[in-house]
Amino acid sequence: MTPQFYSKKRELVIEWINSILPGFNLTTEASDEELRARLIDGTVLCRILNTIKPNSLNEGGFLENSSVLQSENVKRFSAAMDEMGIPRFELSDLEKGSMKTVVNCLLALKIHSVSSVDDLSALKPSATVLQHDGHKFHDLFQLKQERYDELPVTDILEMMESNNLDNAPTQSLLNAVYGILDESVETKKDEMTHLVACLLRKLVQEIGRRLSTQADHLRSQNNLYRAREEKHQSRIRELEAALASATRHIPGSADKKYKKKEHFLVFNFIGLELLPSDSLAGIIVNLEMEEKRKLEKQEMMKLVKENENYIHEIAELKQQVEISGMMHKFGSREMEVQAKAAITVLQMRIKDLESLLADSRNKVKDIESLLSDSRNKVKDLESLLADSRNKVKDLEASFDSKCQSWSMKEKIYQSSIDFQLEAMQNLRSTSKAVKQEIMETKKSYSFEFNHLESKLKALADAAGNYHEVVAENRKLFNELQDLKGNIRVYCRIRPFLPGETGKQPVIENISEHGQLVIANPSRPGKDGQRLFKFNKVFGPNATQGDVFSDIQPFVRSVVDGYNVCIFAYGQTGSGKTYTMTGPNGATEEEWGINYQALNHLFRVSQSRRQHILYEVGVQMVEIYNEQVRDLLSIDVIVIFGFLNLHTVGITTIYQPNGLAVPDASMHPVLSTSDVLDLMDTGFKNRSVGATALNARSSRSHSIVTVHVRGNDLKTRAVLYGNLHLVDLAGSERVDRSEVTGDRLKEAQHINKSLSSLGDVIFALSKKSPHVPYRNSKLTQILQSSLGTSFIFILILQKPSPGSGVKKMCSNRSGNTNGSSDFFSIPRPVRITKLWVLLKFAERVSGVELGAARSSKEEKDKRELMEQIVSLKDTIVEKDEVINRLKSPKDVKPQIPQHHR
């Protein structure tokens, strides 16, 4: 081979390799050693072999009649290639003749001393290089199971290295692109990882770059081929012209032409170097060019197809971009809405802050105004300070002047003090004289005191005679009682109560002397009026105090050892309890006889406490259905919600203290408040029921017994007195009360006991040898008192319509004086006896109804009355003397008032 041919051949091969391996950049300037170093790589060889398309040589018609292409050689070559580990090289390729091109190329390049297919085995690349690059191709661009977005970052970066991309075949790059796109489609992910996207872009760029370089290369190749064609054409023409001239000179040259051609072909395969160099070069060039054109066409078609695929991919990518744009818009709208809401919130906040700012500004203004005020004040204060300083100066000046005047005055005062001292000495001498006078006065006073002492002694002696006075008092009182009578009957008429309606009152006149005139409209003439006489009649306007004032002397006699009994008798609702106890929640003025009597007893006992020590005890019982029950019992039993009072018996044996019911609890009392408490308890326990006439009707007799025990401190004598305060049960006619059953029984018991009381009084008045005390519990209890003295208070109420007072009188038998037609006194079963009782009461009070009194009696009475008045005065006088003696400090020679 000539050096010229060799260089040309070398140039062409380098050009061809560059065309099929873009980016390989072989240069003709490179030395053989350099080229060998680069091409020895099995990878490059593989690429070259893979680039050779099947039938490319056949199309050129070179191998159509080849007999040298023996299967034996092909097998050996492929075995050699297999040994080298060259991938994607198929036997069919070799069989189709591409092997020849390779061998030629290798021979042309003198890469190795390959003279035949046998020598190819020597081209086996080093194991490390082959392994490395093979791995790269396989692992980097042809994934098996792994996904691109799961690849490690280092691998992607490695793939993106320009060297790797440059060396990677276009198909691998395209596969990678398809793989990435398929993955994104499969996974339906809107986004691929940034690195994969970068890789994709890099791959596409690489492909694009290759396409553009190939296009440029093709254009330059085209130009080259055209130039070469023209060159070859002209050469051919030259050769033809030379051949024509030669044939013209050489006979039988046409047969030789064929012979030469066959000869060429045979040697072409067996030993190419034997061929004539010019013709061989031309043939090879033509063949190569043809092959190249075909390959380029195919490449172009493939590129067009790829381009279409790219366009399709780009359209899909655009769609995805649109979708992502839509999502972006939607997201941005949502963001806008949120932003708007946030803006409104911020605006509100800004408004608040602005208002706060305004407030704070106002406050700042206020503070500023305050500050200015305070500054003004400071100025004022400063001016005041200046004024005060001036004043201080003035004061200092005035102080100096005053000091001078004071020193003047001091001198004056000093002289006056001297004068005063002189006067003091004079006073001392006079005080001595006064002291002497006082001493003398003291002496005279002591003399007078001695005189008073002697007088006091005389008074003490007089006090020693107190008992005599008391005894005298008692005697006088007894005389008074004897004079007035030991049985007294009072009549009290209560006023109408609110809500009570009645006809004209039948009471016509109430005189001071106990006369009561009652009108009886049903009887005309003389019988139309009836006159009754009692010890006293209390009209509707009489107070509790009025009633008690007349009873008081009797109460007083109890502390002197008398037994007194006070009854309140009348119809239900006539005012018995009012008179005896007082209204509910009574004030001191409204107290009834009970409280007033005890109060009086305490006062009298207190006034005598230096001489007689009194003990007062109270019992309270009620007689209900002829059973005596203790109203003050502590062990009160409640059975079925009703109060069950302790029942007590009455003694028949005489008791020195006059106790008739010894089993009833006795409660010592020391003051009026004790009495109030006790009586409250007693009255609460008292049985109260209802009848048709009165909603609250006393259905039992209540007896408050006050036991008085007096110890005479001087004589040691003991005296007992009892006061029975009896609130009798209301007694109505059974038929009027409309009672039945238990109430009837109660009424019968009440009537029985009242008639028994009448019987006893009647017997006493007749001085009968037998007094029937035992007929009722009431008379049994009061036995000790009824025998001596008692007060009977008849309580009348103004007759109300339908009371039937007038009817009663017409039915009365034995009523000669017609008095029975008045009273609202109930008509019990034994009404006759009660009437007798009233008659008796009239009689003992010294009034004979309708009878004229003798003048002698009147005169006696007047004398007795005068005597009573004088005796009362004497008692009062002595009481006063006693009181004075009790308090010696106040002792002054006094004369009783009435003696003045």
Positions in the binding site for ligand ATP (CB under 6 A) = 494-495, 497, 570, 572-578, 583, 694, 696-698, 730
583/668 with CB nearer ligand ATP: 583
Q: What is the largest CA-CA distance in the chain?
A: 234
Determine whether the annotation assigns residue 331 to a binding site: no
Distance in Å, CB of 683 to ligand ATP, minimum = 11
The residues, ordered by sequence, that sit 6+ positions from 782 with a Cβ below 8 Å of its Cβ are 565, 660, 703, 724, 726, 757, 790
Assess contact for 107 and 115: CB atoms under 8 A: yes
Residue facing ligand ATP at closest CB distance: 575
- Residue 118, amino acid: D
Distance in Å, CB of 593 to ligand ATP, minimum = 12
Distance in Å, CB of 691 to ligand ATP, minimum = 8
Quote the tokens at residue 459. 């008074």
Residue from 264, 291, 288 nearest 278 by CA: 264
CA-CA distance, 207 to 169, in Å (whole number)? 10
Distance in Å, CB of 693 to ligand ATP, minimum = 8
- Residue 790, amino acid: F
Q: What angle do CA 514, 517, 518 make, to 5 degrees?
A: 135
Distance in Å, CB of 639 to ligand ATP, minimum = 25
Quote the tokens at residue 752. 């029985």
Determine whether the annotation assigns residue 570 to a binding site: yes
575/799 with CB nearer ligand ATP: 575
Query: Per residue in 837-858, is it b (16+ CB within 10 Å) or e — as a string?
Result: bbbbbbebbebeeeeeeeeeee
597/708 with CB nearer ligand ATP: 597
117/796 with CB nearer ligand ATP: 796
3-class secondary structure per residue, 412-439: HHHHHHHHHHHHHHHHHHHHHHHHHHHH
**In the beta sheet, which residues pair with residue 723?**
564, 706
Which stretches within 465-518 are classed as H helix?
466-484
696/859 with CB nearer ligand ATP: 696
Query: Per residue in 724-754, is it b (16+ CB within 10 Å) or e — as a string?
Result: bbbbbbbbbbbebbebeeebeebbbbbbbbb
392/690 with CB nearer ligand ATP: 690
51/572 with CB nearer ligand ATP: 572
CA-CA distance, 106 to 590, in Å (whole number)? 159
Q: 701: burial class by Cβ within 10 Å (0-12, 13-18, 19+)?
A: buried
Query: Per residue in 46-69, is it b (16+ CB within 10 Å) or e — as a string?
Result: bbbbbbbbeebbebbebbeebeeb
CA-CA distance, 179 to 170, in Å (whole number)? 14
Distance in Å, CB of 514 to ligand ATP, minimum = 18
Phi, psi at 147, each rounded to 5°: -110, 155
Distance in Å, CB of 676 to ligand ATP, minimum = 18
CA-CA distance, 637 to 41, in Å (whole number)? 136
Distance in Å, CB of 498 to ligand ATP, minimum = 9
283/586 with CB nearer ligand ATP: 586
Q: What angle do CA 582, 585, 589 make, to 5 degrees?
A: 55
Distance in Å, CB of 650 to ligand ATP, minimum = 23
Determine whether the annotation assigns residue 854 to a binding site: no
Query: Per residue in 859-875, is it b (16+ CB within 10 Å) or e — as a string?
Result: eeeeeeeeeeeebeeeb
19/698 with CB nearer ligand ATP: 698
The separation between CA 290 and the C-alpha centre of its own chain, rounded to angstroms, equals 106
Distance in Å, CB of 782 to ligand ATP, minimum = 19
Distance in Å, CB of 761 to ligand ATP, minimum = 20
585/769 with CB nearer ligand ATP: 585
Q: If you ran DSSP here, which 8-state letter would residue 889 be given?
A: G
Distance in Å, CB of 583 to ligand ATP, minimum = 5
539/787 with CB nearer ligand ATP: 539
- Residue 478, amino acid: N
109/805 with CB nearer ligand ATP: 805
- CB count within 10 Å of CB 714 equals 11
Which stretches within 465-535 are classed as H helix?
466-484
Determine whether the annotation assigns residue 804 to a binding site: no
Phi, psi at 616, each rounded to 5°: -120, 130
What number of residues does the chain have? 900
495/545 with CB nearer ligand ATP: 495
CA-CA distance, 174 to 180, in Å (whole number)? 10
Determine whether the annotation assigns residue 574 to a binding site: yes
Distance in Å, CB of 571 to ligand ATP, minimum = 7
CA-CA distance, 480 to 867, in Å (whole number)? 9
Distance in Å, CB of 673 to ligand ATP, minimum = 23
Assess contact for 824 and 796: CB atoms under 8 A: yes
586/719 with CB nearer ligand ATP: 586
Residues annotated within a binding site for ATP? 570-577
Residues annotated within a binding site? 570-577
